Amino acid sequence: MFIGGYISAAGLGLTCPDWPLCPSGIFPNEKYFIEWTHRLIAAITGILVVAITIGSWIAKNSDRKIKVTSTLAAIFVVTQITLGAIVIDLKLHAILVAIHFGIGILLFAMVLLTTLFAFRLDKNTFETRV
């Protein structure tokens, strides 16, 4: 979210007008580096979110809350990447950019909830033992 916000605030959204790669190919030159970094982070995030979702469904003792929030996160990450490509194709249409930001917030919320559910502490941890 940080780098996406930076890209938007700095007016760099169309620095790299092609999707998924910039005109310089896989490795960017100086002109495309920031936008390329944003896309690289998005791709890595997408892979990790989908992997966590698959892992939550494969794990036998995975809580239902984790399955729901991670599945929603996977749906939002695929939507976010697809919407990012459409935003570039339509030259930063304002409504689509706003939706892209909104989906990003929902994605962050689902990843945060998945993490909190996965690492929640047992209630007995906080009890004072006499």
pLDDT tens for 77-100 read 999 999 988 988 888 888 998 999
Residue 127 annotated in active site: no
- Delimit the domains of the chain by residue range: 2-121
Q: Which residues of 28-64 are buried (b: 16+ CB within 10 A; e: fewer)?
A: beeebebbbebbeebeebbeebeebbeebeeeeeeee
Q: Which residues, 6+ apart, have CB-to-CB distance to 124 below 8 Å?
A: none
Mean pLDDT, residues 58-82 taken together: 95
Q: Is the pLDDT of residue 114 over 90?
A: yes
The answer to whether the CB of 32 falls within 8 A of the CB of 22 is yes
Mean pLDDT, residues 13-39 taken together: 79
Q: Which of the following is catalytic: 13, 16, 22, 35?
A: 35
Structure tokens at 75: 């749906």
How much is the pLDDT for 75? Answer: 97
Q: Is the pLDDT of residue 129 over 60?
A: no
pTM for this prediction: 0.83
pLDDT, greater one: 75 or 90: 75
